[in-house]
Amino acid sequence: MEQEWLKQATGFGMWFIGGLTAGNALLLSFLVYRQARKYGLKMGLKAESMRESIKAALITSIGPCLGIFVGMTVLVIALGGAVAFIRESAGVGSIMFELIASRAGAEAAGVKLTREGMTSTGLATVLWAMATGSVAWVLIGGVFTRWLPKLKDVMGQGNPKQMAVISAVIMLGAFGRLLISDGIKPLIVKGALAPFIGTIVAFCAAIGWLIWSDKLKKPIMKEYFILIAIVVGMAVAQMVR
Amino acid sequence: MNDEKYPGMSHLPFEEKEAIIKNEYCPKVHRAGLWLSLLHAVIIFLPALFMLVVFGIWPGWATIGKAFASTAAIAGPYWFIEPVSYFLILGVSGTYVSFLAGNISNMRLPVSAVSQEVAGVQEGSPEGEIIGAIGIVASQWALTIATLAAAIVVTVVVQNLPKSITGAFDFLLPCLWGAIFGQFALRAPQYAVVCMIIGIPLVMYSGLPTWTLIPIMVFGLAVLSIILFKQGIWVPKKG
């Protein structure tokens, strides 16, 4: 029998909100397109160049869309199709952010981020975490864009090398904590070997796949590293169970 | 020379093109971008408000605050870094669409670059602003179709899988954390080791509230990396 929270998460109301969310992004894109086309022509750009750029953009989008399709699988499994559609069609778009917010929401509500462990209150907390954690991007992008060129000058003193290290370290801190809680702690506390093995296998598979794609000089392969790593990790963990 | 390299550039004088962008195009885009972004800031809360209004489910300020603290500790720096970092590449219109609808580094940036390349216009030019915006808009159409298809297809597939396979989903999160940790461990391996050495006792034995652990680990490691970087320790060789 379908759980109550899943009915709420995948009901008509949530899909309707998905339509509103995606619709607002589409509306902005159509308004921008109209202005860009109008003033592009006025500026002397050829209509053919614009058509070509649309074609190129659609072709270029195929790869990332496949990656997004794959990444969304995780979110659909965890929270249902409607929530995944709301968040990925016009939310932050980063599957990592969505999962961090989901995990933080579930943890704050004291439930597990699994279909069996989730509750209605857990779902509501996850949705609040997603909204409060992402609204700043929309506001900063929407309200402050007109002042961004000046802000960039002020922040330009940053060292890009240092920024790269800090960005990687922030992610290590966040995902390290989650990895310890979900992969290592169950082993130490309950002797549960399967999640630990799954974590290690996925870790190695991800590193191996990324290094391999670098060696083959095929960066497009990197889009699938998470899918490959979690499928291999889950399969091995299920066998160990 | 410039004509050969950028065949799509308009022959109008630069000042005239700049004036069209600055005085005619941008004000209209700013207006649409501002109002629809504000509307989107409200829409983002609709799923949570839907749970409250229709089903009467309210987790409480304290619970939401804890969830927000954990999320903001990670996402917070990016709220500011990303718009500033990407603005020059995305342009005015591209920034509005991208920060409203996401998927910036994996989709908007490559799409913007390829569109300008194909149209033969120079990045950062008035023509680049227009063509980049058109490319990003087209990517939003593709994204909407892809996400809708993924949501429906995956839902149908998951519902029809046998129990032996759906059982493996219990390990989805640990495997996912392992994979992403591996991705960043490749970029800063020393910090991955430090993270485990500090993180395991902290998570297992500190007794601190769970919602504080991510902020502590994130900010602790960030401060450590700044100190070590300034002393020339563990500085990456490649930029």
Confidence of residue B154 (pLDDT cuts 50, 70, 90): confident
Burial degree of B116 (CB within 10 A; 0-12, 13-18, 19+): buried
Whether B64 and B99 share a structural domain: yes
Whether B115 and B63 share a structural domain: yes
Between chains, do A76 and B151 touch, taking CB under 8 Å as contact?
Answer: yes
Contact A180, B204 (CB under 8 A): yes
What residue of A is the nearest CA neighbor of B116?
Answer: A53
**pLDDT (0 to 100) of residue A171:** 78
CA distance A217 to chain B (A): 17
**pLDDT (0 to 100) of residue A218:** 80
Q: Give the model confidence (pLDDT) of A83-110 as tens digits.
A: 999 988 877 767 778 888 998 999 999 9
Q: Is the confidence at residue A135, as pLDDT, over 50?
A: yes
Mutation for testing the A interface, residue in B181, B219, B235 having most A CBs under 10 Å:
B181
Residue closest to A173 by CA, chosen among B76, B104, B63, B107: B76
Between chains, do B173 and A124 touch, taking CB under 8 Å as contact?
Answer: no
Contacting residues for B74 by C-beta, under 8 A, at least 6 apart:
A97, A100, A170, A171, A174, B214, B218
What ipTM was estimated for this complex? 0.78
Give chain B positions within 8 Å (CB) of A234.
168-169, 171-172, 175
Query: What is the number of CB-based contacts under 8 A between chain A and chain B?
Result: 598
Whether B223 and B110 share a structural domain: no
Whether B81 and B101 share a structural domain: yes
Confidence of residue B1 (pLDDT cuts 50, 70, 90): very low
> Using CA of residue A49, residue A54, residue A57, residue A62, what is the dihedral sign?
negative
Q: Which residues form the domain of B119?
A: 2-159
Confidence of residue A170 (pLDDT cuts 50, 70, 90): confident
Inside any domain, residue B239: no
pTM of the entire structure?
A: 0.78
Burial degree of B105 (CB within 10 A; 0-12, 13-18, 19+): middle
Between chains, do A39 and B21 touch, taking CB under 8 Å as contact?
Answer: yes
Confidence of residue B86 (pLDDT cuts 50, 70, 90): confident
Whether B71 and B173 share a structural domain: no
CA distance A234 to chain B (A): 5
Average pLDDT over residues B95-114: 83
Residue closest to A46 by CA, chosen among B57, B8, B101, B66: B8
Contacting residues for B51 by C-beta, under 8 A, at least 6 apart:
A8, A120, A123, A124, A127, B57
Inside any domain, residue B236: no
Give me the number of domains chain B comprises: 2
Average pLDDT over residues A44-70: 84
Q: Is the confidence at residue A158, as pLDDT, over 60?
A: no
Confidence of residue A148 (pLDDT cuts 50, 70, 90): low
Query: For tokens 């953009």, what's the residue?
Result: A57
Rounded percentage of chain A residues whose pLDDT exceeds 90: 49
User: How far is C-alpha A173 from the chain's CA centre?
Assistant: 18
Residue extents of the structural domains in chain A: 159-241
Average pLDDT over residues A3-22: 93
Between chains, do B10 and A202 touch, taking CB under 8 Å as contact?
Answer: no
Contacting residues for A116 by C-beta, under 8 A, at least 6 apart:
A3
Mutation for testing the B interface, residue in A6, A43, A111 having most B CBs under 10 Å:
A43
Average pLDDT over residues B137-142: 92
Confidence of residue B85 (pLDDT cuts 50, 70, 90): low
Whether B131 and B196 share a structural domain: no
Inside any domain, residue B238: no
Average pLDDT over residues B75-86: 76
Give chain B positions within 8 Å (CB) of A79.
none
**pLDDT (0 to 100) of residue A159:** 67
Inside any domain, residue B128: yes
